Copies of this chain bind each other. A is one copy, B any other.
Amino acid sequence: MKDKLYLMIPGPTPVPPAVTAAMSRPIIGHRSAEFAALIERVNEKLKKVFQTKNDVFVLASSGTGGMEAAVANVVNPGDKVITLNTGKFGERFGELARKYGAEVDEIKFVWGSSIDLQVVEEKLKADPTIKAVFATHNETSTGVVNDIKGLGNLVDQHRAVLVVDAISSMGGMDIRTDEWKVDIMVSGSQKAMMLPPGLAFVSVSPKAWNVIEQNKSPKYYFDLLKARKSLGKNNTPYTSPVSLYYGLEAALDMILDEGLENVFERHRLLAKATRAAVMGLGLELLPPLEYASDTVTAVKCPENVDVNNLRRTLLEKYRVMVAGGQAELKGKIFRIAHMGYASKADVLLTIGALEMALNECGYKAELGAGVREAQLVFLGERD
């Protein structure tokens, strides 16, 4: 029964059978007319999920490749940029920008809290030469969702372009790329998009293209001007991962068939139930409720419980895999994902297993109490 695993980590996430089936189709040439038609269809469908009228580029890389593409195409050496660090992935933008020679003003917020727009506003007003602001929509490491709508309205009043990492939220949460005035939106395949790892998605606004066209940073694989030229011919600069493209179209079809609003509502409900359940067991969420993500819930591990032991118990005894904390949160939190191909039953089984594992690791969780809280949410008996 080793391959019977309930994968509740924030990526990679379970891949639906329809996507796996699509990926099993015979390989075709990546320069064929058939593949060009697939690229064109996928672009149109990605635009719907991204809620943008701009093209969405598909890169053969992990999500970090998409982040690097954004940085490499925007940042010239010496440019002043702001990176907003609300967790490990916000921090990554700072690392990337420094690699590309930017003068980085990295604003670190306490991990578990969200960005403070006022701080950003002051910085932007104080220095009109700031070239770009880098932010995380859904901080996978802390389960925090940041106010990108507010940030977009703010950055829009300045010269700076806004680059947002929505890797762990796109396809699960309502992300209005154009309405929120996000210039470069980055996502990845292996989270709420229900695909295996291997693809990054990047949308680019006209404002961002103006910056990109002036960019001199060294880049080759992640050159978005090349990508734009190719996409104009329904092509890609380098070899595309054909099978993942097949899967991508199948996953996009699933999302669009379910309906974006239904997908978002499903994620909202699963997150609400998960939060109610862990709180019902006396556990504390890492982020305040108002900034809690709809795709991943970060929970403070009780002091007397060893997180690794808890995760090992969940995995070995119940075949449920949840994530631990990263970097400074290592050992302090665990994270339950409810993104992509996730259902009410997944929440029930995860909480049921968690209740047992907590007891086995020294924390008195009332058996069934967390499940009951999740059930009450599903039954609509909790506002």
Chain A interface (Cβ < 8 Å from any Cβ of B): 1, 3-4, 6, 16-18, 24, 254, 258, 266, 317-320, 341, 343-346, 348-349, 352-353, 355-356, 359-360, 367-372, 374-376, 378-379
Q: Which of B6, B17, B375 contacts A352 (CB 8 A)?
A: B375
A320 and B345 within 8 A (CB): yes
User: Which chain B residues lie closer than 8 Å to A344 at the CB level?
Assistant: 317-319, 353
- Rounded to whole angstroms, the CA-CA distance of A348 and B347 in the bound complex is 10
B348/A360 in contact, CB under 8 A: no
CA–CA, A369 and B366, complex, Å: 11
Picked from B3, B349, B355, the residue with its CB within 8 Å of the CB of A345 is B349
A368 touches B375 (CB 8 A): yes
Q: Are the C-beta atoms of B379 and A360 separated by less than 8 Å? A: yes
Please, how many angstroms separate the alpha-carbon atoms of A378 and B360 in the complex? Answer: 11
Q: Are A376 and B367 in contact (CB under 8 A)?
A: yes
**Within the complex, which residue of B1, B352, B369, B379 is in contact with A356, where a contact is CB–CB below 8 Å?**
B379
Q: How far is the CA of A317 from the CA of B266 in the complex (A)?
A: 12
Given contacts A349-B346, A352-B349, contact A1 B341 (CB under 8 A): yes
Query: Knowing that A345-B349, A349-B352, A355-B375 are A-B contacts, what are 18 other residue pairs whose CB atoms are under 8 Å apart, sorted by A's residue number?
Result: A1-B254, A1-B266, A1-B341, A6-B345, A318-B343, A319-B343, A319-B345, A345-B352, A345-B353, A348-B349, A352-B352, A352-B371, A352-B374, A352-B375, A356-B375, A356-B379, A368-B372, A371-B371
